[in-house]
Chain A
Amino acid sequence: MTVALERPAIAAAKPARRRRFSLGAVTPYLQSAPLALILGAFLLLPIIMIVVVSFWDYDFAAMYPDFLATNYSDVLGSWVTWKTYLNTIKFAAIVWALTLFIGFWVAYFLAFHIRTTAMQMVLFLVCTVPFLTSNIIRMISWIPVLGRNGLINSTLVHLGIVPKPIEWLLYSEFAVVLAMVHLYTLFMVTPIFNTLMRIDRSLVEAARDAGASGWQVLWNVIIPLAKPGMAIGTIFVVTLVMADFSTVQVMSGGQSASVALMMKNQMSLLQYPAAAANAVVLLVLVLLMVAGILRIVDIRKEL
């Protein structure tokens, strides 16, 4: 969005020739207009609407334009909200750590251990194969695997490893984290793979020549250079987990709460202003997290 807004400003600042002033000055605006219009109509306007509605009053049937802080005091004053936010942040932290670890090593393997570019591309495409089916299907397909009479439990019981089925495999926080890691790891792999591919191999050779060990090369050369990719992947994963409701609902069997699920409950009861207030709080929190990430890592450096 910032790009779209900045570009006309930069272009307009350029000294234009007097004669073609009218056309020259208008062209960049025209060029950026489609994107600006789309973002304005489908991103900015809805967000403004959400903020406005979050101050309204409501009952079971309708919303009444007003300027009340009760929606916010309800959201922030309830222990349910705090517990739910903590729970969601906990999921985000665990899933982030796991996807970063797994994602980095998958990307590292693809970038440095596969010799030919053709093979790299083939293997990368293999990684994306699961994305040919929908999120929901990939998530739900865990249920017959993890269930009480599912694949894993029946195998374990059959082999005599456990006397009776393990209960915590499904409808638990374990199941939620497992499904999320499965769903979101590729969002980590892609940007990290991208940055790893751009690393100049001569830097690695230079480090070797200077006597660095394998771990030193990894720690002092590759990881610092991969940081922008990790940051982008982190933004993807954190925002996806913070906004998730279906995975938490399905994999925890409705036993666990997430912020988005709380909003969905409110919306299904038509308490839109309450849900809007919740959405604003979540948006602020996620923006703060993204701002924090961007402060630590300059993602533009490597783009």
Chain B
Amino acid sequence: MTNTTQAKTGISRRSLLKTGAAAVGLAAGSGAITGFPTIWAQSNITLRQFGTGVSNLNAIADKCKADLGITLEMTATDSDAAAQRAVTQPDSYDIADIEYWICKKVFPTGVLQPMDVSKLKYYDELVPLFKTGKLTPDSVIAQGTAPHTVGFVEAQDSKVFAKAPTNWFTMVPTIYNADTLGIRPDLVGRDITTWADIMDPAFKGKTAILNIPSIGIMDAAMIMEAMGNIKYADKGNMTKEEIDKTIDFLIKAKQGGQFRAFWKSFDESVNLMASGEVVIQSMWSPAVAAVRSKGIACRFQPLKEGYRSWGGGLGLAAHLSGAQLDAAYEYINWYTSGWVGGYLNRQGYYSANMVSAKKFMTEDEWGYWIEGKPAKGDIKAPDGTVMEKAGALRDGGSFEERMGHVACWNSVMDEDRYMVKRWNEFIAA
């Protein structure tokens, strides 16, 4: 699955040189070069960005070309392939758009360079979750690979993550969200309040969890802890015994017929829910929206133990320097300047700079997506289709309510290989 976006230049090198030289002369003469944005088209800068599918959006590449003149070549892969490519082919990309748990694996190998905070125009406006781990001063820091734990290094050439914010930022956050269980409110027949409800004998043969080991184990951990079976020191970094206990429990539940299916792709989860095969399952926010768009009731149910959260960011390749590095900073500053933020927020994700994103959203959109208020008018997707009717409320409420109750971040464990091996036993059992 490779998705490459590249604007056609349509001009020959010769004509580009000619007009380019003329334009530079003209711009220099008129003093136009001083303002923002720099007109990168004249040097014809291309940035190659690769990463997981969610944030590699064509609309962003098109807008970037229009605003900055920087051509973005985007390649989408799944997260395991992204981790591998980041490490093994460091010259094949300029910008790595990867999740924070991948960053934990990748950054220490030296293929990325940290960003100078003083060059990041909107650094101060970034959501504090990515700097201190706390959304509000009194928030509890979540378990797992929380972004702030891999957000900074000690110095420009350091590969060791810093304990507190420094001047060297590893990644600028792009997209993040809080995941929970999806339910069919018309079929569950009672209130769902805890992760443990997925193991209720009443839902025997009507539940599903996702079969992606690194995420599935987290959902399993949330369930285990909610049932009071175990108390993890860190769900995001289990010991071998904790992994064994969790997997043994899953195998028992599977053999008891608790699960209807294990899904791997977005579409599978949508179909399971829409067809009524499953009434409660692990789910992703856009999948819930997809079920609802078919006119079927589906809710992304907030649970008392909190959310399992994930997030990604943009990192700079180590080989970037000179004009390319400047362009990369320019791109990242543009990314956090508002338009992209508004675009992502309108899709039900969260963006890193809420202050600037607000300027690119209508009051009603801001109220519905971020403040958790009832929609005054119809809420539309970026392509114009109606997502929610007037009066709708976002599941889980406001940004603070959702991101303030993160129990655990997606993560990579030290015992990763052992966990995957045991997970495969669970699927084969």
| Complex interface residues of chain B between 275 and 332 (CB less than 8 A to chain A) | 275-277
Residues of B within 8 A of A60 (CB): 80, 83-84, 105, 416
Q: Taking the nearest CB of chain B, how far is it from the CB of A268, in angstroms? A: 6
Q: What does the 1/0 interface line of B65-109 toward A look like (CB < 8 Å)?
A: 000000000000010110110011000000000000000010001
CB–CB B277/A268 < 8 A: no
- From B148-156, B261-269, B365-373, B386-394, the one touching the partner chain is B261-269
In the complex, B158 has a CB within 8 A of chain A? no
CA distance A78 to B139 in the complex (A): 44
Q: A257 with B428: in contact, given A147-B277, A149-B276, A170-B277 (CB under 8 Å)? A: yes
Q: A254 with B211: in contact, given A61-B87, A62-B84, A249-B264 (CB under 8 Å)? A: yes
CA distance A84 to B80 in the complex (A): 24
CA distance A170 to B429 in the complex (A): 18
In the complex, A135 has a CB within 8 A of chain B? no
In the complex, A104 has a CB within 8 A of chain B? no
Q: Taking the nearest CB of chain B, how far is it from the CB of A65, in angstroms? A: 14
CB–CB B271/A270 < 8 A: no
CB–CB A255/B277 < 8 A: no
Q: A80 with B275: in contact, given A61-B84, A171-B261 (CB under 8 Å)? A: no
CB–CB A265/B424 < 8 A: yes
6 contacts between A and B (CB under 8 A): A78-B425, A80-B425, A144-B275, A147-B275, A268-B80, A270-B83
Q: What does the 1/0 interface line of A56-86 toward B look like (CB < 8 Å)?
A: 0000111000000000000000111001100
CB–CB B260/A171 < 8 A: yes
Q: Taking the nearest CB of chain B, how far is it from the CB of A176, in angstroms? A: 13
Residues of B within 8 A of A138 (CB): none
In the complex, B420 has a CB within 8 A of chain A? yes
CA distance A251 to B326 in the complex (A): 52
CA distance A44 to B136 in the complex (A): 61
Q: A61 with B88: in contact, given A254-B211, A254-B262 (CB under 8 Å)? A: yes
CA distance A149 to B277 in the complex (A): 8
Q: Which A-B residue pairs are the 4 nearest by beta carbons?
A: A253-B261, A254-B262, A61-B87, A257-B428
| Nearest chain A residue, comparing its CB with the CB of B210 | A254
CA distance A28 to B275 in the complex (A): 61
Number of residues in B with C-beta < 8 Å to the partner? 33
Q: Taking the nearest CB of chain A, how far is it from the CB of B130, in angstroms? A: 24
Residues of A within 8 A of B169 (CB): none
| Complex interface residues of chain A between 173 and 198 (CB less than 8 A to chain B) | none
CA distance A78 to B261 in the complex (A): 24
| Nearest chain B residue, comparing its CB with the CB of A62 | B88
CA distance A269 to B105 in the complex (A): 14
Option from B81, B84, B260 in Cβ contact (under 8 Å) with A253: B260
CA distance A257 to B271 in the complex (A): 21
CB–CB A262/B88 < 8 A: no
Q: A269 with B420: in contact, given A62-B84, A80-B428, A249-B264 (CB under 8 Å)? A: yes
Majority DSSP secondary structure for residues of B touching A:
helix
Q: Taking the nearest CB of chain B, how far is it from the CB of A269, in angstroms? A: 6
| Complex interface residues of chain B between 224 and 266 (CB less than 8 A to chain A) | 254, 259-264
Q: A254 with B424: in contact, given A144-B275, A147-B275 (CB under 8 Å)? A: no
Task: Show the binding face of B for A, using Cβ within 8 Å.
Answer: 78, 80-81, 83-84, 87-88, 105, 109, 205, 208, 211, 213, 254, 259-264, 271-272, 275-277, 416, 420-421, 424-425, 427-429
Interface centre among B259, B260, B271 (most CB of A within 10 A): B260
CA distance A244 to B105 in the complex (A): 33
CA distance A253 to B254 in the complex (A): 12
Option from A170, A257, A269 in Cβ contact (under 8 Å) with B427: A257
Q: Taking the nearest CB of chain A, how far is it from the CB of B257, in angstroms? A: 9
Q: A255 with B88: in contact, given A149-B275, A270-B80 (CB under 8 Å)? A: no
CB–CB A268/B261 < 8 A: no
Residues of B within 8 A of A95 (CB): none
Q: A254 with B425: in contact, given A147-B275, A171-B277 (CB under 8 Å)? A: no
CA distance A100 to B79 in the complex (A): 43
Q: What does the 1/0 interface line of A114-153 toward B look like (CB < 8 Å)?
A: 0000000000000000000000000000011001110000
| Nearest chain A residue, comparing its CB with the CB of B206 | A148
| Nearest chain B residue, comparing its CB with the CB of A63 | B88
Interface centre among A60, A83, A84, A149 (most CB of B within 10 A): A60
Residues of A within 8 A of B262 (CB): 253-255
Q: A148 with B277: in contact, given A254-B427, A255-B259 (CB under 8 Å)? A: yes
Residues of A within 8 A of B211 (CB): 254
In the complex, A167 has a CB within 8 A of chain B? yes
Apart from A255-B254, A269-B80, A270-B81, 14 more pairs, CB < 8 Å: A60-B84, A61-B83, A61-B87, A61-B88, A80-B424, A84-B428, A148-B276, A148-B277, A171-B260, A171-B277, A254-B262, A255-B261, A262-B424, A265-B427
| Complex interface residues of chain A between 143 and 170 (CB less than 8 A to chain B) | 143-144, 147-149, 167, 170
Interface centre among A62, A83, A170, A254 (most CB of B within 10 A): A254
Residues of B within 8 A of A87 (CB): 428
CA distance A16 to B277 in the complex (A): 72
Residues of B within 8 A of A268 (CB): 78, 80
Residues of B within 8 A of A253 (CB): 208, 260-263, 272, 277
Residues of B within 8 A of A83 (CB): 428-429
CA distance A170 to B84 in the complex (A): 36
CA distance A255 to B250 in the complex (A): 12
Residues of B within 8 A of A257 (CB): 427-428
CA distance A254 to B272 in the complex (A): 12
CA distance A293 to B264 in the complex (A): 37
CA distance A262 to B426 in the complex (A): 12
CB–CB B264/A254 < 8 A: yes
Q: Taking the nearest CB of chain B, how far is it from the CB of A223, in angstroms? A: 38
Q: Taking the nearest CB of chain B, how far is it from the CB of A38, in angstroms? A: 26
Q: Taking the nearest CB of chain B, how far is it from the CB of A141, in angstroms? A: 13
Q: Taking the nearest CB of chain A, how far is it from the CB of B145, in angstroms? A: 14
Residues of A within 8 A of B271 (CB): 143
Option from B109, B205, B429 in Cβ contact (under 8 Å) with A61: B109
CA distance A144 to B420 in the complex (A): 32
Q: Taking the nearest CB of chain A, how far is it from the CB of B14, in angstroms? A: 41
